[in-house]
């Protein structure tokens, strides 16, 4: 059964209570507290109805419970651990040796019931499980998201493969001082390899965590596991964002992905089935301080109701290498899979091992169970123009091919009425491809190069972009959670990269259900601030910026490419303009001089800033013609 706890709400955001009880430092505190409580008998006082959620992680029912007490009269008819609820006013008659108040910041709650407590009774609460005060960004209120800005990172240093996490101290831009990461590195078995604090520099300065350097620093053996990060002393933003490069000792080892979305979900989707000669590996990384029971992780072909289960447990914070062929040997590309995760792990990475001995890594996406088709989407087309847009690059056709696979990403999504609009870099629409009303179990792969060749069409600029949009002439089952997987093939080296993501409403003053999305303030979000990390030698950095517009917007963007040092200082600025519905493919080495890039230093980066429009961007690295990587960008 999936864990019965809310980790994330699309209305309220992340659940700080979940983060507070699942933190790696909390489990030992719970064990010590339970050892003490087991010596007597316990009255559970549950004023906030959090006992059930807590016992999903730590089994309160294993304690010697003498009574269960509530504050809300309507809760009087509930039960916990086989005991009927009593009102807290009955507490004076309890023979319990301890009262366990299942709440953080319990002092006010206790003030209300002190007159009800027997003289002999000892009071404990979730406050006995609190993190050290020096780990709190907001010391006045424990359960605030700022106190639990945490995330997990797939981290490996083995067999000539390394990982490098790159981000910036964006909290400094909100006034935060003395920002630190508290870091814990786990091996594949969930054993702790190292704990340390990583001090971040000043505002907007770069932070790099490189597996090779960390392995050397702590004299570690080879490892494939996960790195847990907790950002301390932060302000303004409670999400730990990063770019993650996987690079190697050999030139043909290169891939990239980004932050893990730190709230575990019941379901993930968009996992590609293996192509001929491939092995697709899902890295199942337990994000919880207790084992994943055997049978809790499952997988099925999209649209198939038969779920095949992994009948093996996974230790706390351990990493399991799950080959798709282990569970679904008949699944073949371009079929896609959904993963039943039961809220045991954050958005997972998968790795494709190709027949040419090359590897690429990417992430799945959260499949939502709370969405229903929205009939209004088909009715607002006159006002919203193209409405929801899912943009993706068409990389230079003299080297790359682009493949597009629409991916259902909601449990009620039985059909996908979609079309693909193809644009050249100037914003001219070259053609339209109608997918039709795709069924949930479709395997409709769009090959851009084959499509253009079949129509005898060339892109004048050799590159451009594609936009997936709803095609309401083919069906009405749209929910605004349009997703796709985009795969890129280097036809010279055979190297591949892929990225998956969802659509948004772009660049219109009109709003619908919090779209166009705004990261700061109320919608619409009509500006751009994207982070582009610079690769270290021998890697050159490339970027593909797309200017999508749901309705008519400014004819051209006013986009600044701001080269920034690893200390967060501006070095150089270059202005570009992108036509509306156009795109721009560029390399850092072609925009900034070698001297400027050297001045940026190791860890320098580029900010893509535009106050006139919202751009969608993709970052990547190239190692000559040997290898490349690509993923979509993040902003802060």
CA 118 to CA 146: how far, in whole Å?
37
From residue 147, how far is each of 45, 141, 240, 458, 527 by CA, in Å? 25, 9, 12, 53, 28
Eight-class DSSP state of 411:
T
pLDDT confidence of residue 390 = 98
pLDDT confidence of residue 478 = 95
CA 174 to CA 239: how far, in whole Å?
13
pLDDT confidence of residue 598 = 94
CA atoms within 13 A on the CB side of 97: 8
Q: Mean pLDDT for each consecutive 10-residue tract of the chain (636 residues)?
A: 73 78 97 96 95 94 95 92 94 94 94 92 96 96 95 96 96 95 98 98 96 98 98 94 95 92 92 97 97 97 96 98 96 98 95 94 95 93 93 97 97 96 97 97 97 93 96 95 97 96 96 89 93 93 98 97 97 98 97 96 95 97 96 89
Kindly report the CATH class assigned to 8-133.
alpha beta
What is the CA angle 37-41-46, rounded to 5? Answer: 80
Cβ neighbors of 106 (< 8 A, separation 6 or more) are: 125, 126, 127
pLDDT confidence of residue 606 = 97
pLDDT confidence of residue 518 = 87
pLDDT confidence of residue 23 = 97
pLDDT confidence of residue 546 = 98
Pairing of strands 279-285, 319-323: antiparallel
pLDDT confidence of residue 261 = 81
Listed in order, strand segments (DSSP E) in 5-41 are 8-9, 13-14
What pTM did the predictor assign?
Answer: 0.95
pLDDT confidence of residue 260 = 76
């Amino acid at each position: 059964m999936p864990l019965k706890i809310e980790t994330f709400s699309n209305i309220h955001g992340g659940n700080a209570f979940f983060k507070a009880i699942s933190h790696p430092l909390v489990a030992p505190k719970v064990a010590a507290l339970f050892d003490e409580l087991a010596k007597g008998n316990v009255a559970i006082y549950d004023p906030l109805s959090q006992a059930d959620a807590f016992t999903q992680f730590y089994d309160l029912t294993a304690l010697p419970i003498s009574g269960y007490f509530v504050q809300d009269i309507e809760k009087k008819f509930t039960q916990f651990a086989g005991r009927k609820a009593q009102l807290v006013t009955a507490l004076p008659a309890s023979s319990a040796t301890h009262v366990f108040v299942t709440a953080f910041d319990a002092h006010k709650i206790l003030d209300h019931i002190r007159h009800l407590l027997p003289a002999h009774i000892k009071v404990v609460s979730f406050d006995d499980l609190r993190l050290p005060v020096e780990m709190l960004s907001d010391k006045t209120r424990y359960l605030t998201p700022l106190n639990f800005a945490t995330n997990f990172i797939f981290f490996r240093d083995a067999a000539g493969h390394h990982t490098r996490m790159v981000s910036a101290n964006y909290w400094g831009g909100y006034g935060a001082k003395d920002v630190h990461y508290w870091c814990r590195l786990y091996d594949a078995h969930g054993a702790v390899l190292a704990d340390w604090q990583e001090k971040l520099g000043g505002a907007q300065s770069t932070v790099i965590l490189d597996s090779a350097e960390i392995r050397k620093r702590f004299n570690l053996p080879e490892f494939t596991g996960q790195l847990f990060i907790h950002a301390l002393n932060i302000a303004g933003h409670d999400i730990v964002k990063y770019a993650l490069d996987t690079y190697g000792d050999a030139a043909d080892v290169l891939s990239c992905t980004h932050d893990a979305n730190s709230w575990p979900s019941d379901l993930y989707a968009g996992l590609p089935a293996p192509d001929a000669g491939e092995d697709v590996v899902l890295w199942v990384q337990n994000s919880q301080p207790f084992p994943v029971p055997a049978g809790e992780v499952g997988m099925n072909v999209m649209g198939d109701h038969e779920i095949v289960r992994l009948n093996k447990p996974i230790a706390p914070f351990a990493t399991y290498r799950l080959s798709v062929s282990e569970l679904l040997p008949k699944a073949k590309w371009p079929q896609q899979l959904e993963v039943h995760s039961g809220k045991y792990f954050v958005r997972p990475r998968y790795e494709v091992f190709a027949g040419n001995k090359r590897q690429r890594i990417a992430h799945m996406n959260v499949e939502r169970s709370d969405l229903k088709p929205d009939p209004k989407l088909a009715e607002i087309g006159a006002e919203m123009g193209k409405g929801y847009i899912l943009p993706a690059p068409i990389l230079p056709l003299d080297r790359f091919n682009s493949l597009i696979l629409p991916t259902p990403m909601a449990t009620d999504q039985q059909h996908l009425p979609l079309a693909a609009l193809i644009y050249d870099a100037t914003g001219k629409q070259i053609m339209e491809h109608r997918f039709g009303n795709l069924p949930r179990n479709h395997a409709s792969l769009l090959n851009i190069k084959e499509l253009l060749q079949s129509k005898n069409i060339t892109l004048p600029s050799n590159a451009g972009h594609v936009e997936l949009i709803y095609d309401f002439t083919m069906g009405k089952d749209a929910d605004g959670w349009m997703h796709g997987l985009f795969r890129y093939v280097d036809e010279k080296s055979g190297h591949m990269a892929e990225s998956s993501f969802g659509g948004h409403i772009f660049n219109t003053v009109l709003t619908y259900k919090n779209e166009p999305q705004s990261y700061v303030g109320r919608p619409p979000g009509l500006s751009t601030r994207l982070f582009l990390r610079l690769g270290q030698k021998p890697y050159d950095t490339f970027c593909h910026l797309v200017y999508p517009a749901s309705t008519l917007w400014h004819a051209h963007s006013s986009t600044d490419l701001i080269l920034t040092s690893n200390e967060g200082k501006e070095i150089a600025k270059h202005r570009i303009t992108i036509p509306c519905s156009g795109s721009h493919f560029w390399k850092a080495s072609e925009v900034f001089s070698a001297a400027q890039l050297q001045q940026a230093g190791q860890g320098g980066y580029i900010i893509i800033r535009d106050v006139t429009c919202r751009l969608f961007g993709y970052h990547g690295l190239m190692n000559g013609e040997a290898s490349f990587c690509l993923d979509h960008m993040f902003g802060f």
